[in-house]
């Protein structure tokens, strides 16, 4: 499946947006934060039709290209987000839009809510929803085969910040530890920012996955 994943770093915080070819000329886009035209160009270039949008959480830098992208792709595309973050798709006072001066917030409609354990299927691929609250109350990781789309839950060597609306540091640490303990074997981690890593590498070296993780705080 890895050969069918195309990534773009978009917007001022270089959010990782993923275009996933699912077969039969179809695609799922994960976290279209900015640059709808670039994302649409990649879909066209690869000969793909957008069928679904998956959001790892509701922060502005992960959602703001949704509306324009859907318009470019014909409009009738469902957007999936965890129920605890659904309000963030329309409320700029809680989705960090105020941080991005010079950018207009575009509310996201046509939202379908997700719950822990849900499975979103497109063609031959299934994306399982793993609820990982902490960065936001509705953060999720999408597991597909040996891939983890972790959004801002888990990064190489660290975890997502927790100082914005509905963030909770101890809950974030708990979420990543449960993720690492529950999933057996290794996975390619596709995070919301910066470079990829693997779950096994994070088990070994990420300080938040070590035995003293409960004593750590994150306040960058």
pLDDT band for 220, please (50, 70, 90 cuts): very low
Tens digit of pLDDT for each residue in 124-156?
999 999 999 999 999 999 999 999 999 999 999
pLDDT band for 75, please (50, 70, 90 cuts): confident
Please report the pLDDT score of residue 219 as a whole number. 44
Cα dihedral across residues 39, 187, 77, 59: positive or negative = negative
Asked if pLDDT for residue 116 goes beyond 50, the answer is: yes
Average pLDDT for residues 100-110, to the nearest whole number? 90
Average pLDDT for residues 109-128, to the nearest whole number? 96
User: How many angstroms separate the first and last alpha carbons of the chain?
Assistant: 35
Domain boundaries, the chain: 2-116+129-213
Please report the pLDDT score of residue 214 as a whole number. 60
Please report the pLDDT score of residue 10 as a whole number. 98
Superfamily name with CATH number, domain 2-116+129-213: Ribonuclease Z/Hydroxyacylglutathione hydrolase-like (3.60.15.10)
Q: How many CB atoms neighbour CB 54 within 10 A? A: 25
Write the secondary structure of 108-148 as one string of H (helix), E (strand) and C (coil): CCCEEEECCCCEEEECCEEEEEEECCCCCCCCEEEEECCEE
Residue in this structure with the two tokens 């039709």, named with its chain if needed = 49
Distance separating alpha carbons of residues 28 and 158, to the nearest angstrom:
27
Please report the pLDDT score of residue 217 as a whole number. 54
Please report the pLDDT score of residue 165 as a whole number. 94
Distance separating alpha carbons of residues 171 and 177, to the nearest angstrom:
10
pLDDT band for 23, please (50, 70, 90 cuts): very high
Tens digit of pLDDT for each residue in 182-201?
999 999 999 999 999 999 99
Joined together, the tokens standing for residue 206 give 């990420």
């Amino acid at each position: 499946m890895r050969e069918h994943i195309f990534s773009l770093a978009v917007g001022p915080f270089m959010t990782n947006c993923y275009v996933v070819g699912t077969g039969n000329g179809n695609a799922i886009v994960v976290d279209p934060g900015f640059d709808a035209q670039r994302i649409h160009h990649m879909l066209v270039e690869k000969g793909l039709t957008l069928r679904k949008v998956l959001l790892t959480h509701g922060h502005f830098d992960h959602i703001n290209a949704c509306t324009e992208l859907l318009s470019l792709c014909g409009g009738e595309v469902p957007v999936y987000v965890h129920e605890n973050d659904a309000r963030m798709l329309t409320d700029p006072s809680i989705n960090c839009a105020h941080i991005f001066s010079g950018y207009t917030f575009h509310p996201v409609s046509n939202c379908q809510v997700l719950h822990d354990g849900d499975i979103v299927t497109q063609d031959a691929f299934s994306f399982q929803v793993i609820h990982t609250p902490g960065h936001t109350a509705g953060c999720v990781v999408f597991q597909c085969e040996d891939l983890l789309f972790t959004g801002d839950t888990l990064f190489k060597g660290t975890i997502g910040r927790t100082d914005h609306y509905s963030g909770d540091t101890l809950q974030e640490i708990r979420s990543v530890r449960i993720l690492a303990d529950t999933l057996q074997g290794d996975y390619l981690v596709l995070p919301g920012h910066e470079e990829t890593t693997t779950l096994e590498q994070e088990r070994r070296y990420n300080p938040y996955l070590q035995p003293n993780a409960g004593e750590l705080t994150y306040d960058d």
